Amino acid sequence: MSPTIWFLTSNAGKLAEAGNHLSALGYEVKQLVVQEGVLYEPQAETLEEVAKSKISQARQHLPSNFSPSDMILVEDAGLFIDALDGFPGVYSSYVYSTIGNAGIIRLLNHLTTEDPVSSASLRSARFMAVAALWRDGEVMLGEGICPGHIATKSMDGQGFGFDPIFIPCDLDDNLNPLSPGNYGSHSTHGKTFGAVDSAVKQKFSHRSRALQNLFNQLPSA
């Protein structure tokens, strides 16, 4: 039987991305649902602190069918924009629910040129994710970064959150990201995460990288 991981999230997009990634590694991912309003989002300085707080909170709300060999997963992510000194970073949820993608684009309106390479550098940003796994009473952490830049207009389609405005950097043959504006063998061809298939996003994403980093530390399932 596959080991079970309870993923604390109310975000269907995150659940699908983690489910795809971890089922390929031999784990069964179940959603850990906690009644709305019961958990709080700590206003911490780092994603690690937020993730650890969520693990502690999740442990107070385990389902009756949680078995001692099961694991708990939480994941916290944020968008860090260089021209705004890393803002919104750990405030990403609040910023998304207040000014949203249109507000981010407005904040960067003055940072664009005719040259796509320098525009990409001026508007550089990165998604960062920290995944935390509770297993046998211990917490393990993994982190993932996806560099890219902020588009000049929203490109909707699939995806969630800031996906419609984030264009990831191309990747080289070994799936390592290149600097903004450089061409690599894996590319979304200037499309945002919102405008590409979820399988394409998975190849680039901070979430996949954080999970990879975390599960590389575990024996395979």
Under the rule (CB under 6 A), what is the footprint of ligand IMP? 11, 76-79, 92-93, 96, 127, 160-163, 193, 205, 207
- For residues 170 and 161, the answer to whether their CB atoms sit within 8 Å is no
**23 to each of 31, 38, 114, 136, how far by Cα in Å?**
13, 29, 43, 20
Q: Least distance from C-beta 207 to ligand IMP, angstroms?
A: 6
Q: Least distance from C-beta 76 to ligand IMP, angstroms?
A: 4
Helix residue ranges per DSSP H, the chain: 12-23, 47-59, 92-98, 100-107, 116-122, 198-204, 206-215
State the DSSP code for 165.
G
Which of 31/118 has CB closer to ligand IMP?
31
Q: Which residue is nearest to ligand IMP (CB)?
A: 161
82 is catalytic: no
Which of 3/99 has CB closer to ligand IMP?
99
Q: Least distance from C-beta 80 to ligand IMP, angstroms?
A: 11
Which of 39/140 has CB closer to ligand IMP?
39
- For residues 75 and 51, the answer to whether their CB atoms sit within 8 Å is yes
Active site residues: 76
